[in-house]
Structure 1
Amino acid sequence: MSDPNPCLDCGMCCVHFRVSFYWGEADDAPGGFVPAELTEKLNLHLRCMNGTNEVPRRCVALAGQPGEQVSCTIYDRRPTPCREFPSHEADGSPNRKCNALRAQIGLPALQPLAAAELSG
């Protein structure tokens, strides 16, 4: 049995970064998928998730308490920056930025993935 998803007890990326993305990812554009009502316009080409353009940040799609238990309410429809921020790199090493954010709330650092986890 594999370890649980480390993101489900963290959520720090959702309260740290401005989640900005190409406007065409929003569902009011042809082929878009991110719920437009959860976004705000930044400029002609970019939108961001509500709650991430001001400090303190907290993405409107984040449910739960960071450092305890969290989930994304639009996980299957999340924007590209969220899809592309991995807990681990392709070689199995932990994402350094992810570990730095986890440390801010006292969560243990992620360990490298075993070879079996990389192939599965």
Structure 2
Amino acid sequence: MNQRKGLARIIAATGYSYKGVKAAWKHEEAFRQEVVLMLLMAPLAFWVGDNFAEQMILLGSVVLVVVVELLNSAIEAITDRVSTDYHKLSGRAKDMGSAAVFVALFLMIFVWGVKIYQLLM
């Protein structure tokens, strides 16, 4: 087995990552929606946050949603690869992935809500 090392490994990994984002964009509507949300909210994080730490927390909460959606999409893809027939473990895996996205979305809403509340008070 000839494993890449150093810069060659980084270049190959970047290519795999690009393919993953491209596949998610093509096949996952939720991913597309969350990327658009991120692109809209990212500039707002720098306007709403009072300092660098707040800006990064606001931005990070939005980016986290996209990261978790990518993982959820990967779980769904591998589960469907194994079988499209219903199985309780497959259903459980997909439900847990969905729950992870829900928790990330809740965290984002909470973080932004607290900051907006502070601005209004």
**Shorter-chain TM-score range:** under 0.3
Instruction: Please report the TM-score for the alignment, with normalisation by the length of structure 1.
Output: 0.23
Q: Which has the higher helix share?
A: 2
Q: Which has the higher strand share?
A: 1
Instruction: Please report the TM-score for the alignment, with normalisation by the length of structure 2.
Output: 0.23
- Higher Rg of the two aligned structures: 2
